[in-house]
Amino acid sequence: DQQVKQNSPSLSVQEGRISILNCDYTNSMFDYFLWYKKYPAEGPTFLISISSIKDKNEDGRFTVFLNKSAKHLSLHIVPSQPGDSAVYFCAASGINSGYALNFGKGTSLLVTP
């Protein structure tokens, strides 16, 4: 069963605007959440993370928001740049799975000039 879901397979945004990628999870035992970015023919690259004791974490243009009650997290990219075009994966981990990452199926972001 898919415990981490990214319901939007693709997203297109204009350069300079905000990109918002969403992720939902079902397992309340997850306590750490991560976003990865993946280019074709490369492995996923760690982008940003957040623990369950926080509701926001910011790193430069990237901000992750966590809503535990809704079991929802989102990644905001501001401003979006053409180089941000990639597939973004949401992942979650917890002690009951040995901290293995449970991935969503990804959202393909296209930032157009």
Partner 1 sequence: DSGVTQTPKHLITATGQRVTLRCSPRSGDLSVYWYQQSLDQGLQFLIQYYNGEERAKGNILERFSAQQFPDLHSELNLSSLELGDSALYFCASSALLAGSSYNEQFFGPGTRLTVL
Q: How far is the CB of 57 from partner 1 (least distance, A)?
A: 12
Distance CA 105, CA 87 (A): 9
| Pairing label, strands 32-38, 86-93 | antiparallel
Site string for partner 1, 35-64 (x = CB under 8 A): -x----xxxxxx--x-x-------------
The footprint of partner 1 on residues 68-107 (CB under 8 A) is 89, 91, 93-95, 97-106
- 39-44: long-range contacts at Cβ-Cβ below 8 A with a sequence spacing of 24 or more? 39/86, 39/87, 44/89
HSE of 18, CA atoms in CB hemisphere, 13 A: 9
- Total number of residues that touch partner 1 (CB under 8 A): 27
Structure tokens at 28: 């309340």
Give the shortest CB-111-to-partner 1 separation in angstroms: 22
What's the closest the beta carbon of residue 4 comes to partner 1, in angstroms? 9
Q: How far is the CB of 44 from partner 1 (least distance, A)?
A: 5
Query: Do 48 and 64 contact (CB within 8 A), yes or no?
Result: yes
Site residues for partner 1 per CB under 8 A = 31-32, 34, 36, 41-46, 49, 51, 89, 91, 93-95, 97-106
